[in-house]
Amino acid sequence: MSWMPLPAFNEQWTKPPSSTVQAGIQTTAAIVVALATVFAVIAQSKDNPKLAGALVVVSMAVVGWPFVHRVITFFQIRRVRAVRDRAAGARYSELLRFAKRFAQFTNAGDWANIRPIILSLCGNNPEKCAELCPPDYMRDLCPFFLQHLEKRVPENEGQFLLAVQELYGIVVSYNRYYVSEPFDRMRMKRWPIVNPSVLHTALGTADPANPSLGPWIASLPLGSQESAEGQIEGFRERWVSFLDDMKQWLEGMNESFGVQLPDWFDRPHKL
Protein backbone atom coordinates (compact mmCIF):
# COMPACT_ATOMS: atom_id res chain seq x y z
CA MET A 1 0.00 0.00 0.00
CA SER A 2 1.33 3.44 -0.94
CA TRP A 3 0.93 6.48 1.30
CA MET A 4 0.64 10.11 0.18
CA PRO A 5 3.02 12.43 2.07
CA LEU A 6 1.41 15.35 3.88
CA PRO A 7 2.53 18.95 3.29
CA ALA A 8 5.52 19.91 5.43
CA PHE A 9 5.71 22.89 7.75
CA ASN A 10 7.39 26.10 6.56
CA GLU A 11 11.15 25.97 7.08
CA GLN A 12 11.30 29.05 9.29
CA TRP A 13 8.97 27.41 11.81
CA THR A 14 11.24 24.39 12.09
CA LYS A 15 14.50 26.28 12.57
CA PRO A 16 16.20 26.22 15.97
CA PRO A 17 15.23 29.19 18.21
CA SER A 18 18.73 30.69 17.94
CA SER A 19 18.49 30.77 14.13
CA THR A 20 15.07 32.43 14.28
CA VAL A 21 16.27 35.10 16.71
CA GLN A 22 19.37 35.77 14.62
CA ALA A 23 17.25 36.12 11.48
CA GLY A 24 14.97 38.59 13.30
CA ILE A 25 17.93 40.68 14.42
CA GLN A 26 19.34 40.78 10.89
CA THR A 27 15.94 41.79 9.48
CA THR A 28 15.54 44.57 12.05
CA ALA A 29 19.03 45.87 11.35
CA ALA A 30 18.34 45.93 7.61
CA ILE A 31 15.12 47.89 8.20
CA VAL A 32 16.88 50.43 10.38
CA VAL A 33 19.58 50.96 7.77
CA ALA A 34 16.99 51.29 5.00
CA LEU A 35 14.95 53.83 6.97
CA ALA A 36 18.01 55.87 7.83
CA THR A 37 18.90 56.02 4.16
CA VAL A 38 15.36 56.97 3.14
CA PHE A 39 15.04 59.74 5.71
CA ALA A 40 18.42 61.12 4.71
CA VAL A 41 17.24 61.33 1.11
CA ILE A 42 13.94 62.93 2.20
CA ALA A 43 15.83 65.57 4.17
CA GLN A 44 17.70 66.46 0.99
CA SER A 45 14.53 66.52 -1.17
CA LYS A 46 12.42 69.26 0.48
CA ASP A 47 12.03 71.04 -2.86
CA ASN A 48 10.51 67.93 -4.47
CA PRO A 49 7.40 66.89 -2.44
CA LYS A 50 6.44 64.15 -4.94
CA LEU A 51 9.79 62.48 -4.48
CA ALA A 52 9.51 62.85 -0.73
CA GLY A 53 6.02 61.33 -0.76
CA ALA A 54 7.19 58.43 -2.87
CA LEU A 55 10.07 57.84 -0.50
CA VAL A 56 7.66 57.85 2.46
CA VAL A 57 5.50 55.21 0.73
CA VAL A 58 8.58 53.12 0.01
CA SER A 59 9.77 53.41 3.58
CA MET A 60 6.36 52.34 4.92
CA ALA A 61 6.43 49.35 2.60
CA VAL A 62 9.92 48.45 3.80
CA VAL A 63 8.79 48.64 7.41
CA GLY A 64 5.53 46.80 6.89
CA TRP A 65 6.64 43.96 4.61
CA PRO A 66 8.35 41.77 7.29
CA PHE A 67 5.20 41.91 9.42
CA VAL A 68 2.93 41.17 6.47
CA HIS A 69 5.22 38.28 5.53
CA ARG A 70 5.01 36.87 9.05
CA VAL A 71 1.21 37.12 9.03
CA ILE A 72 1.04 35.32 5.68
CA THR A 73 3.42 32.66 6.93
CA PHE A 74 1.42 32.25 10.14
CA PHE A 75 -1.79 31.52 8.22
CA GLN A 76 0.06 29.17 5.86
CA ILE A 77 1.34 27.20 8.85
CA ARG A 78 -2.14 27.14 10.35
CA ARG A 79 -3.53 25.78 7.09
CA VAL A 80 -0.86 23.08 6.84
CA ARG A 81 -1.35 22.14 10.48
CA ALA A 82 -5.11 21.86 9.94
CA VAL A 83 -4.52 19.55 6.95
CA ARG A 84 -2.22 17.32 9.01
CA ASP A 85 -4.63 17.28 11.96
CA ARG A 86 -7.48 16.20 9.67
CA ALA A 87 -5.27 13.47 8.19
CA ALA A 88 -4.43 12.24 11.69
CA GLY A 89 -8.12 12.16 12.57
CA ALA A 90 -8.84 10.13 9.45
CA ARG A 91 -6.21 7.55 10.49
CA TYR A 92 -7.54 7.19 14.04
CA SER A 93 -9.76 4.26 13.02
CA GLU A 94 -6.67 2.38 11.84
CA LEU A 95 -4.94 2.98 15.16
CA LEU A 96 -7.98 1.70 17.03
CA ARG A 97 -8.18 -1.36 14.81
CA PHE A 98 -4.57 -2.33 15.56
CA ALA A 99 -5.12 -1.72 19.28
CA LYS A 100 -8.14 -4.06 19.27
CA ARG A 101 -6.22 -6.72 17.34
CA PHE A 102 -3.45 -6.53 19.90
CA ALA A 103 -5.92 -6.76 22.79
CA GLN A 104 -7.06 -10.15 21.48
CA PHE A 105 -3.60 -11.59 22.15
CA THR A 106 -3.69 -10.44 25.79
CA ASN A 107 -7.07 -12.02 26.51
CA ALA A 108 -6.41 -14.59 29.23
CA GLY A 109 -9.69 -16.34 28.39
CA ASP A 110 -8.65 -17.08 24.80
CA TRP A 111 -7.06 -20.53 24.83
CA ALA A 112 -5.41 -19.88 21.46
CA ASN A 113 -3.03 -17.35 23.11
CA ILE A 114 0.41 -18.36 24.28
CA ARG A 115 -0.03 -18.00 28.04
CA PRO A 116 -3.29 -20.02 28.25
CA ILE A 117 -1.69 -22.64 25.98
CA ILE A 118 1.31 -23.00 28.30
CA LEU A 119 -0.87 -22.97 31.41
CA SER A 120 -3.00 -25.77 29.97
CA LEU A 121 0.06 -27.82 29.00
CA CYS A 122 1.36 -27.35 32.56
CA GLY A 123 -1.80 -28.98 33.89
CA ASN A 124 -3.18 -25.56 34.93
CA ASN A 125 -0.39 -25.37 37.50
CA PRO A 126 0.47 -21.65 37.97
CA GLU A 127 3.88 -22.44 39.46
CA LYS A 128 4.95 -24.51 36.47
CA CYS A 129 3.56 -21.87 34.10
CA ALA A 130 5.57 -19.20 35.96
CA GLU A 131 8.78 -21.02 34.98
CA LEU A 132 8.09 -19.90 31.41
CA CYS A 133 5.83 -16.84 31.64
CA PRO A 134 6.13 -13.66 33.73
CA PRO A 135 3.22 -12.43 35.88
CA ASP A 136 0.34 -11.49 33.62
CA TYR A 137 0.19 -7.72 34.08
CA MET A 138 -0.85 -7.21 30.48
CA ARG A 139 -4.24 -8.81 31.18
CA ASP A 140 -5.13 -5.81 33.36
CA LEU A 141 -3.11 -3.12 31.57
CA CYS A 142 -4.34 -3.60 28.00
CA PRO A 143 -8.08 -3.08 28.69
CA PHE A 144 -7.31 0.25 30.40
CA PHE A 145 -5.12 1.31 27.47
CA LEU A 146 -7.83 0.41 24.96
CA GLN A 147 -10.53 2.14 27.01
CA HIS A 148 -8.41 5.29 27.24
CA LEU A 149 -7.79 5.23 23.50
CA GLU A 150 -11.48 4.85 22.69
CA LYS A 151 -12.64 7.65 25.01
CA ARG A 152 -9.81 10.14 24.41
CA VAL A 153 -9.86 10.60 20.65
CA PRO A 154 -6.71 12.50 19.57
CA GLU A 155 -7.52 16.12 18.76
CA ASN A 156 -4.49 16.84 16.58
CA GLU A 157 -1.52 15.29 14.82
CA GLY A 158 0.74 15.46 17.89
CA GLN A 159 -1.70 13.60 20.14
CA PHE A 160 -2.34 11.04 17.42
CA LEU A 161 1.34 10.28 16.85
CA LEU A 162 1.88 10.04 20.61
CA ALA A 163 -0.91 7.45 20.83
CA VAL A 164 0.72 5.51 17.98
CA GLN A 165 4.03 5.47 19.88
CA GLU A 166 2.27 4.32 23.04
CA LEU A 167 0.69 1.41 21.17
CA TYR A 168 4.06 0.53 19.65
CA GLY A 169 5.64 0.56 23.12
CA ILE A 170 3.05 -1.75 24.65
CA VAL A 171 3.27 -4.16 21.69
CA VAL A 172 7.08 -4.27 21.92
CA SER A 173 6.86 -4.94 25.66
CA TYR A 174 4.38 -7.78 25.18
CA ASN A 175 6.41 -9.22 22.33
CA ARG A 176 9.58 -9.28 24.41
CA TYR A 177 8.39 -10.42 27.82
CA TYR A 178 5.31 -12.49 26.98
CA VAL A 179 6.29 -14.06 23.66
CA SER A 180 10.00 -14.00 22.75
CA GLU A 181 11.39 -14.77 26.22
CA PRO A 182 9.01 -17.71 26.90
CA PHE A 183 9.83 -19.08 23.44
CA ASP A 184 13.54 -18.77 24.18
CA ARG A 185 13.11 -20.58 27.51
CA MET A 186 11.17 -23.39 25.86
CA ARG A 187 13.78 -23.78 23.14
CA MET A 188 17.08 -23.13 24.94
CA LYS A 189 16.60 -23.98 28.61
CA ARG A 190 17.07 -27.63 29.59
CA TRP A 191 14.12 -29.46 31.12
CA PRO A 192 13.68 -33.01 32.52
CA ILE A 193 12.39 -35.05 29.58
CA VAL A 194 9.87 -37.89 29.65
CA ASN A 195 11.82 -40.45 27.61
CA PRO A 196 15.51 -39.53 27.17
CA SER A 197 16.27 -42.43 24.84
CA VAL A 198 13.56 -41.35 22.39
CA LEU A 199 14.92 -37.79 22.29
CA HIS A 200 18.53 -38.85 21.73
CA THR A 201 17.47 -41.32 19.05
CA ALA A 202 15.54 -38.57 17.24
CA LEU A 203 18.46 -36.15 17.49
CA GLY A 204 21.06 -38.77 16.59
CA THR A 205 23.15 -37.75 19.58
CA ALA A 206 23.64 -38.76 23.17
CA ASP A 207 24.61 -36.77 26.20
CA PRO A 208 25.97 -39.18 28.82
CA ALA A 209 26.76 -36.35 31.24
CA ASN A 210 23.17 -35.11 31.23
CA PRO A 211 20.98 -37.68 29.45
CA SER A 212 17.66 -36.69 31.03
CA LEU A 213 17.42 -33.03 29.96
CA GLY A 214 16.08 -31.49 26.78
CA PRO A 215 13.85 -28.71 25.38
CA TRP A 216 10.57 -27.94 27.10
CA ILE A 217 8.37 -29.77 24.57
CA ALA A 218 10.27 -32.99 25.37
CA SER A 219 9.33 -32.61 29.04
CA LEU A 220 5.62 -33.00 28.20
CA PRO A 221 3.83 -36.35 28.08
CA LEU A 222 4.64 -38.16 24.85
CA GLY A 223 1.03 -38.14 23.66
CA SER A 224 0.70 -34.36 23.89
CA GLN A 225 4.00 -33.18 22.44
CA GLU A 226 2.89 -33.03 18.80
CA SER A 227 -0.36 -31.27 19.70
CA ALA A 228 1.53 -28.81 21.92
CA GLU A 229 3.93 -27.91 19.09
CA GLY A 230 0.99 -27.33 16.76
CA GLN A 231 -0.83 -25.04 19.22
CA ILE A 232 2.31 -23.01 19.99
CA GLU A 233 3.27 -22.66 16.32
CA GLY A 234 -0.31 -21.63 15.48
CA PHE A 235 -0.06 -18.81 18.00
CA ARG A 236 3.39 -17.80 16.73
CA GLU A 237 2.15 -17.55 13.15
CA ARG A 238 -0.82 -15.38 14.15
CA TRP A 239 1.41 -13.14 16.26
CA VAL A 240 4.08 -12.74 13.57
CA SER A 241 1.37 -11.90 11.03
CA PHE A 242 0.15 -9.15 13.38
CA LEU A 243 3.69 -7.80 13.80
CA ASP A 244 4.23 -7.76 10.02
CA ASP A 245 0.96 -5.89 9.45
CA MET A 246 1.74 -3.35 12.15
CA LYS A 247 5.27 -2.82 10.84
CA GLN A 248 3.89 -2.11 7.36
CA TRP A 249 1.35 0.31 8.86
CA LEU A 250 4.01 2.16 10.86
CA GLU A 251 6.20 2.47 7.77
CA GLY A 252 3.23 4.00 5.95
CA MET A 253 2.69 6.42 8.83
CA ASN A 254 6.32 7.54 8.64
CA GLU A 255 6.04 8.11 4.92
CA SER A 256 2.70 9.89 5.13
CA PHE A 257 3.49 12.21 8.06
CA GLY A 258 7.20 12.63 7.36
CA VAL A 259 8.18 11.35 10.82
CA GLN A 260 10.46 8.60 12.15
CA LEU A 261 8.32 6.43 14.39
CA PRO A 262 10.02 3.17 15.45
CA ASP A 263 8.75 0.21 13.42
CA TRP A 264 11.10 -2.69 14.25
CA PHE A 265 9.95 -5.86 16.03
CA ASP A 266 11.95 -8.87 17.19
CA ARG A 267 10.23 -11.88 15.60
CA PRO A 268 9.95 -14.92 17.90
CA HIS A 269 11.70 -17.99 16.48
CA LYS A 270 10.14 -21.39 16.02
CA LEU A 271 10.66 -23.97 18.73
pLDDT for res 82: 76
Report the predicted TM-score, pTM, of the whole model to 2 decimal places: 0.71
Q: How many CB atoms lie within 10 A of CB 106?
A: 22
The residues spanned by each domain of the chain are: 11-88, 91-257
Mapped onto helix, strand or coil, the DSSP state of residue 5 is coil
Residue ranges of alpha helices (H) inside the chain are: 17-43, 49-90, 92-105, 114-121, 126-130, 138-151, 157-174, 181-188, 196-203, 225-257
What pLDDT, in 10s, does the model give residues 212-264? 889 999 999 988 999 999 999 999 999 999 999 999 999 999 999 999 999 99
Range in 37-51, 88-102, 184-198, 232-246 the model is least confident about: 37-51
